[in-house]
Amino acid sequence: MSPEIKLRVLSYGVVVLLGLTLFALSLISIRKENRRGQPLTGNIWFAVAMIGFCAAIALLAGSVQKARSIEDVIRSVDAVAFGLE
């Protein structure tokens, strides 16, 4: 299996895991806040934190892909510059 497919599968797995975690913790938080009579502020902040975490993972994955693309370009330029091709 190619590294790109592995990375994509792992990324989807992390997103699903985070989504299920968010759902479970949201249910727990809603039950606790209903007992205390508080609004759903805890849920809102937790959702914002999870969205930020997912965005950070997406940026990291994007930078890895960009680095691989740049590496391929550098290899091609070196091959042409040194007459290896």
pLDDT digits (tens, 9 = 90+) for 6-56: 877 887 888 888 778 877 877 787 777 777 776 667 777 777 877 888 788
**Domain boundaries, given as residue ranges, for the chain:** 3-81
pLDDT score at 39: 65
Q: What is the 3-state secondary structure (H, E, C) of the chain?
A: CCHHHHHHHHHHHHHHHHHHHHHHHHHHHHHHHHHHCCCCHHHHHHHHHHHHHHHHHHHHHHHHHHHHHHHHHHHHHHHHHCCCC
State the burial class of residue 42 (Cβ atoms within 10 Å of its Cβ: 0-12, 13-18, 19+). Answer: middle
**For the whole prediction, is pTM greater than 0.75?**
no
pLDDT score at 85: 56
pLDDT score at 2: 76
